Structure 1
Amino acid sequence: MAVLLSTKAQAMKAWRDALLAVDPTLDIRMFPDAGDPAGIEAAVVWTAHDMAELRRYPKLKLIVSMGAGVDHLLRPPGPPPGIPVARLVDRMLTTQMGEWVLLNVLRFHRQDPDYRAQQRDRVWRELPAPVTAERRIGILGLGELGTHAAGLLRGIGFPVMGWTRRPKAVEGVENLHGPDGLRAMAARSDILVCLLPLTPETRGIVDASLLGLMPRGGFVINGARGGHVVDADLLAALDGGHLAGAALDVFQPEPLPADHPYWSHPKVVMTPHAASITIPASAAPQVVDNLRRAREGRPLVNLVDFSAGY
């Protein structure tokens, strides 16, 4: 029985080599060269793969997302009924996202956009020193990524709040939850960081009403999914002067169209969905472990809860 890989062509070989390094006995096939559909027992896929295609494989036991998010796999028609889906919870993914969040929090906290503007204009002027303990950070989502980022920020002295749907205790992080908690946290967040999974309930969560609650001069950082942010509302908050800046790694759609206002906006810092990139060699042991569990009928790790959407 074989494992089907489906991702960008340039990444396919790295995934194949990483999986074979863990288990040299694996039969690896790279889409679209799947061979006999009845020979596929697991599919390791990323965003470009059509879920309808997986209905061709009658002996499929497992689908694995190559990233921490799975919203791309749950879009209609979704995975074949009854086939479990696992996501990656990988140390390297978590580390990279924490680095990206910390980079951008410090970028805004230490007034880097202002100093870069002064450099362009050849202006030598010292700005008032910021106080870390007075810069309040609000994190939307306290899963693996959000909890790790919160720890990094706390470690250098930022007061950190975290919002979740239901109460969740994270050491040193003030937890707010539910609709009232969301509004209360936004009103106190000088920098608002989105690390939520994308579900029907969280789509468009960063909208005009939420942004309007933030303190004037605040910043937004989105490393989750483009669908969390209502672009027109964020642009209006930036252009109107209510917000001072935004750091965005994810967009809707991707790649971002060349004529989109974000490209040239003076208050927007962009990266091309590169905040946290799966490293196959790091993720492969987890994938192989789940494959063995599926073969042996043992419980899977990091199984997606379809009712929750992640």
Structure 2
Amino acid sequence: MTVNVLFAARAEKWEDYEDPLNAALEAAGIEADLRTEFSPEVVDYIVYAPNSDVQDFTPYTRCKAVLNLWAGVENVVGNDTLTQPLCRMVDDEGLTQGMVEWVVGHTLRMHLGMDLHIHGQDGKWRSYSPPVAQERPVTILGLGALGRACGQALAGLGFPVTGWSRTQKQIDGIRCLSGDAGLAEALQGAQIVVLLLPHTPETENILNGETLAMLPRGAMILNPGRGTLIDDSALLAALEEGHIGHAVLDTFRKEPLPVMHPYWAHEKVTVTPHIASTTRPDTAARVIAENIRRGEAGEPFLHVVDRDAGY
């Protein structure tokens, strides 16, 4: 039996995803009709990006699942018309590897003080000996698939890694903390903080004036997670005062980041344009195909979003 799969994302993405999705579906043994347009009542699965034109799911009466192309679901999880299972993009090898490379790269940049030499080509011989990795504690806020992978990669390089999550976890190579007391402990010893939490009401502004003050003076912040995790005014104040040494920011409350935003011109801020990790069509297609295979076999879907938790 042929399953009808609607690709509901921006038109320019179709060229990137059409062949990988068809190949992954065929490899999974699924006879599928993959298109960008169907009559809603015949659609079995929706491959979805929250910025697509599909915002009302009511007509999709036969749809078995909405399969998100992004790890983030905050722009769709509250949609009251979406009553089908919603699955996040998790365990995508390309997405995970991209995030690990961004986090490790910028952690090493901050740790080694690379900017001193990259931006200091003015004839002055600047001597700087950074500590070794074992002397540079790193804290990761968020221990989902991406936080776990980044934490273990950094631990493998010798950094003492502490991870914090809302619920207690056990991960090899990472000291795991949870709860309010655990958050304070995780921040107080961190010279570099990496934000990899989802956007939920509980995580919004998790770095604010109070929690930023818990960090040791000169601490550095990397945010490839969500822009809403940081109180921007509090961070700018902490940077100006010198309490925070540098911030590398990849996600923002409004994207693209407005041209007049103070982050652009701040000497202690690095802006990257939401590139820490993007969904790679070849690897994402395999995740999508596996969930469709599961749906057709009557098996549980992978990475189903908990609507109450928001991720």
TM score, norm. by length of structure 2: 0.93
The match for 1:291 is 292
- Describe the superposition over 1:248-269 as per-residue Cα deviations: whole angstroms up to 9, x where unpaired: 1111111111111111211111
Give the RMSD, CA atoms, in angstroms: 1.6
- 1:247 counterpart SS class: strand
Matches within 5 A, 1:1-310: 1-23=3-25, 25-30=31-36, 34-49=37-52, 52-75=55-78, 77-78=79-80, 80-81=82-83, 83-89=84-90, 90-119=92-121, 121-310=122-311
- 1:20 counterpart SS class: helix
Q: Across the two proteins, how many residue pairs are aligned to each other?
A: 304
Deviation at 1:50, TM superposition (A): 5.5
Percent same amino acid at aligned positions?
A: 39
Gaps of 5+ in 1: none
Gaps of 5+ in 2: none
Whether contact under 8 Å (1:161, 1:174) holds in the other structure is yes
1:301 and 1:244 map into 2 onto residues whose CA distance is 40
Whether contact under 8 Å (1:52, 1:78) holds in the other structure is no
Whether contact under 8 Å (1:3, 1:27) holds in the other structure is yes
Whether contact under 8 Å (1:217, 1:243) holds in the other structure is yes
Deviation at 1:186, TM superposition (A): 0.8
- 1:245 counterpart SS class: strand
Runs of 4+ residues over 4 Å off in structure 1: none
Q: 1:263 to 1:78 in 2, by over 3 A?
A: farther
- Describe the superposition over 1:219-242 as per-residue Cα deviations: whole angstroms up to 9, x where unpaired: 000111111111111111111111
Deviation at 1:110, TM superposition (A): 0.4
Whether contact under 8 Å (1:41, 1:60) holds in the other structure is yes
1:242 and 1:218 map into 2 onto residues whose CA distance is 7
1:74 and 1:261 map into 2 onto residues whose CA distance is 31
- Describe the superposition over 1:98-153 as per-residue Cα deviations: whole angstroms up to 9, x where unpaired: 1110011111100012223322x332211133222111100001111111111111
Whether contact under 8 Å (1:51, 1:80) holds in the other structure is no
- 1:293 counterpart SS class: helix
2:217 and 2:81 map into 1 onto residues whose CA distance is 43
Whether contact under 8 Å (1:3, 1:43) holds in the other structure is yes
Deviation at 1:10, TM superposition (A): 2.2
Tell me which amino acid in the other structure corresponds to 2:34: I
2:53 and 2:211 map into 1 onto residues whose CA distance is 34
- 1:73 counterpart SS class: coil
- 2:305 counterpart SS class: coil
Tell me which amino acid in the other structure corresponds to 1:297: G
Deviation at 1:16, TM superposition (A): 1.6
Whether contact under 8 Å (1:47, 1:72) holds in the other structure is yes
